[in-house]
Chains A and B, each alone.
Chain A
Amino acid sequence: MAQDDVEQLLRYPIPNESALEPPANWARLRQRCPVARVALASGDEATLLTRYDDVKRVLSDPRFTRPTPADNAARVADVESGGVFNSEMATVLPQHGEGHLRWRRMIGKWFTAKRMNALRPGIEAMAERLIDDMVQQGPPADLKASLGFPLPVWVICDMLGVPDSDRDRFAAWSDMMLSMTRFTQAEIETAQVEFGRYMAGHIAAKRAEPGEDLLSALITDTDSDGERMSDATLVATGMGLLIAGHETTANMIGKMVAMLLADRRRWEQLLADRSLVRTAVEEALRMDANSGFGMVRYFTEDIEIAGTVLPPGTTAVCSMAAANRDESAFDAADEMNLGRSPNPHLAFGAGAHSCIGQPLARTELQTVLDVLLRKLPSLELAVDVSDLRRVEGLVVGGLRELPVRW
């Protein structure tokens, strides 16, 4: 693509100084340009979708999934391989139709509501312990480092059966694999190799000596066709769950608490009525304007969206965060309404590929909010909202730290 063309295109992700507020042009895009040409960090061109109905329809359309490296789709990251969506981990996992369904259903049994309810007391006890440690150190504290990060890491490590003492190692690999502009191709490749070797080591150890964990079970389980997972799929599944299970929720705990404290009337409303915790969590997920890149879909046949026919070969970026602010889908979409119900937000995506860990994320977010309200009712931000800083250069969005006092 000629440099002149790139300069005329909107850059995506849209630069945004504010840590919690959406970029001003989301509303304009939804109203005037619901199918927008954008330039990604790689310089490749993609099509950005921002309306609720369009994003939901495309994500739910069984014809389309993430591009494979063979599709020659727009690359998300500014490195040759294009980043995480083109990684070996992403390509090993079945993406389409029956294969995807069988794989997903093997994992699904580990994320049922019943299992989540069984995990809840353990999550609560760990949240209490982490908050006690934070209080003992005294204010101010970084709530992300003290609670937001270690809690979901402990939960997913416990489920997978890997030691959470390794968290600094796989957090570093995970950041590199989720890079959009921060790391080099060589760093990303090294992280993939090292993380893959680490996971393969755990799988070999569990094959020799099985535990009561998800990885041990996946080694011996069979899918609905009676097939076992290949070693490559086991490694990719373990890496995917470990990355997805901690990055997203760790960031979301920080953003949720930041949103609730940014206008402290919200925190006080929750203190006065704890029954709002469930809907408050959903509203924080909907309001998250810093959720990261969004979801990519590669069109293999014509599709008409908002009056525009997009040809095969189009790489679409679905901005769930922009869709979640669509006034045609949500009354007073820009207002945080802690009792909003129903709240059919798209933070976890939609359709057959919607987030498999969403019941776990919900359980963790609800539990952590419950415990914080109970143990630290006087919690407040230790900095001005305008001083909160975003995580930059990764496909996931978050706050670098969340300074609080109580």
Chain B
Amino acid sequence: MKVFVDQDKCCGAGTCVMLAPDVFDQRDEDGIVVLLDGQPSEGLHPIVREAANVCPAGAITVSDNA
């Protein structure tokens, strides 16, 4: 799995960080998403997919090809 985030789209809702704090973080100065782990381990795949699915700004994409 490969994870991509779009910081321009991000609205700083923090939903992804609350779900998967090992994969996503937020910049302290404005709350915008920071990707910590672009290729998370398999155990995290379901929660990362959920984070992408519920992101209010559609700022997270997940690719399963890699």
Contacts and interface: CB of A to CB of B under 8 A. Distances in A.
Contact of B15 (A341, A351, A358): A358
Contacts of A351: 11, 56-58
A116 B18 CA distance: 9
A215 B8 CA distance: 26
B56 A105 contact: no
B30 A342 contact: no
Chain A contact residues: over half helix, strand or loop, or mixed? helix
B15 to A, nearest CB: 7
Interface residues of A, number: 28
B35 interface: no
Nearest to B29: A109
A60 interface: yes
A378 interface: no
B39 interface: no
A16 interface: no
A113 B26 contact: yes
B43 to A, nearest CB: 16
Interface string A330-373: 00000000000111100011111111101100100000000000
B37 to A, nearest CB: 16
B36 interface: no
A328 interface: no
Contacts of B9: 352
B49 interface: yes
A224 B7 CA distance: 14
A112 B54 contact: no
B12 A112 contact: yes
Interface in B7-26: 9, 11-15, 17-18, 21, 25-26
Interface of A: 60, 104-106, 108-109, 111-114, 116, 224, 341-344, 348-356, 358-359, 362
